[in-house]
Chains A and B, each alone.
Chain A
Amino acid sequence: MFNATDILETIRMIDQENLDVRTITMGISLLSCADADIARSCTKVYDKITRLAERLVPVGEEIERTYGIPIINKRLSVTPVSMLAAVSGGDPVLYAKTLDRAAKAVGVNYVGGYSALVQKGFAAGERELIRSIPEALAETDQVCSSVNIGSTKAGINMDAVGLMGEVILEAAKRTADKNCMGAAKIVVFCNAPEDNPFMAGAFHGVGEPDCEINVGVSGPGAVRSALAKCPDGDLTEVSDVIKKTAFKITRMGQLVGTEASKRLGVPFGIVDLSLAPTPAVGDSVAHIIEEMGIEVCGAHGTTAALALLNDAVKKGGVMASSHVGGLSGAFIPVSEDAGMIEAARSRDLSIEKLEAMTAVCSVGLDMIVIPGDTPASTISAIIADEAAIGMVNSKTTAVRVIPAIGRQAGEELEFGGLFGSGPIMALHNDRSSEKFIRRGGRIPAPMQSLKN
């Protein structure tokens, strides 16, 4: 019937190794809410979200209870709001406030989708929406924003890259009294996935159904602990251990996703096979890398170890789920990972090494606190570098940096909760990239885009 070892393994993974389902995210299309009158449009948005997501939180809690699996977050992702703003015109911040109210009414902790997709250029409403992001994030609590500025197919919209440097700086300034949290809720993407359940970059793409359930799993602690039992194995064995653990973790996510979809009467979208760390001790991606034999995350060999980890997580997870999507890979958000925080504090982990690491794992420069006096053009240049890695390698990359207004490298910002705390990391140098950014225009799509 049941094997006692298996049962105790599951319980240990949940109880001691922080295994959990990180998020159930309901994706909701707002295209049916578009209206030429912005007030009417906002009313429709509020009504649709509160109708479809009314039972999301209680159903999530029921599933947690039945299976004994913690589900940390219940969230919403919506159609990029720029599309609604294009129809209605008016002040897009009204949409942000509506989303915030709806999120609070249904009890989710974040709603993502204050977004625009501008990889090839700005359509109606998109420039206005992007410019309004700092205000929207300063005046709401639960809204998250993302902007896709590049793709392998379209190249990189350098006008948007230039604009985003300013927007991030402004968002940090407007929330300087709240640890610059505004900037922590903006993700700048290249090749953004349209079904990502993870914040702050979640939005509901136009190719998605009217409503669906996407699930993001976690489990760095479980992977590390499995590796600890294989102290002398070679790297082929290490990869096998990670695959087996990732399989189990993902099956749990698949179970939660299908069950939530059944109970809510909403189609199941995808499982995002990501190893998402938290600041809790024992739930760190950096510590997995260190378990493999790298003394401190950031030392030479870190990129290779991360590449192995990322690949093994996908290989283990892909068979465990009927549909895989989202970001699917290991996350390396500095302030949200106890091991990365330590490595950044001791200056063993630098922003250059993080950039290299983003070439082999999911996402990109994530939750990195930078000095508050960093010029907007330098932030844009960081975004451009990261987008170039994503564009050329046909993968998702992203930038979520937080300029710590009024503070310098070596100090710390404390966000609290899942956002953790971050030592302010020094940038590569203080040389200017301003002229390059000011040129604007588009970086043409690379040869990799011509696959037909």
Chain B
Amino acid sequence: MKAVVTVIGRDTVGILARVASVCAEHNANILDVTQSVLSEMFTMIMVLDISDLNDSFSALQNALDKLGADIGMKILTMHEDIFNSMHRI
């Protein structure tokens, strides 16, 4: 099972590290990261393996929401099925 974390906001130092450490705390393995910075707007898409979380998926979502609020970025954590169903036949 996978989840997609999307982080959008103004670029600052250490965003990737902070998101990654929350993932590690919840035992979510990072499978893939793509990021781009376009005129100071930072967009990062991270794909996580959530098969072996040490807590529920919603606990991970809550932790990432909190991080987003702390660092002033929009962080969305969504189950992969939404993207599979909308974009794959």
Contacts and interface: CB of A to CB of B under 8 A. Distances in A.
| Interface range for B | 20 to 34
B86 A248 contact: yes
B85 interface: yes
B83 A68 contact: no
A7 B81 contact: no
Interface string B54-88: 00011001000000000000001111111101110
B34 A252 contact: no
B6 A255 contact: no
Nearest to A253: B85
A271 B83 CA distance: 18
B86 A251 contact: yes
Contacts of A7: 4, 6, 45, 83
Contact of B86 (A1, A6, A62, A259): A6
A96 B5 CA distance: 45
Given A8-B43, A65-B61, A68-B78, A2 B86 contact: no
B43 to A, nearest CB: 7
B78 to A, nearest CB: 4
A65 B57 CA distance: 10
A68 B6 CA distance: 11
A11 interface: yes
Contact of B76 (A1, A2, A66, A68): A68
Contacts of B23: none
Interface string B25-65: 00000011010000000010101000000000110010000
Nearest to A259: B81
Nearest to A19: B86
A3 B31 CA distance: 14
A65 B58 contact: yes
A1 B49 CA distance: 12
Given A10-B87, A66-B79, 15 more contacts: A2-B32, A2-B45, A2-B80, A6-B87, A7-B4, A8-B43, A10-B82, A11-B8, A65-B58, A67-B81, A68-B76, A68-B78, A68-B82, A252-B85, A255-B82
Interface of A is mostly: helix
Contacts of B83: 2, 6-7, 10
B6 A252 contact: no
Contacts of B79: 66-68
A310 to B, nearest CB: 22
B47 A1 contact: yes
Contacts of B4: 2, 7
A251 B85 contact: yes
Given A66-B57, A252-B82, A8 B31 contact: no
26 contacts: A1-B31, A1-B32, A1-B47, A2-B83, A4-B34, A6-B83, A6-B86, A7-B6, A8-B43, A9-B87, A10-B82, A10-B86, A10-B87, A11-B6, A11-B8, A62-B58, A65-B58, A66-B57, A66-B58, A66-B79, A69-B82, A251-B85, A251-B86, A252-B85, A252-B86, A254-B85
A435 to B, nearest CB: 55
Nearest to B32: A1
Contacts of A3: 87
A252 to B, nearest CB: 6
Interface string B10-32: 00000000000000000000011
Contacts of A4: 34, 45
Nearest to B81: A255
Contacts of B61: 65
Nearest to A69: B82
Contacts of B82: 10, 67-69, 252, 255
A281 to B, nearest CB: 21
Contacts of A1: 31-32, 47
Contacts of B87: 3, 6, 9-10, 248
Interface string A1-31: 1111011111100000000000000000000
Contacts of A254: 85
Among B57, B58, B61, B78: residue with most chain A CB under 10 A? B78
A171 B50 CA distance: 53
Contact of A11 (B34, B76, B81): B76
A7 B3 CA distance: 11
A2 B57 contact: no
A2 B45 CA distance: 9
B53 to A, nearest CB: 13
Name the 7 nearest CB pairs between A and B, nearest first. Answer: A68-B78, A6-B87, A67-B82, A255-B85, A251-B85, A248-B86, A66-B79
A318 B78 CA distance: 26
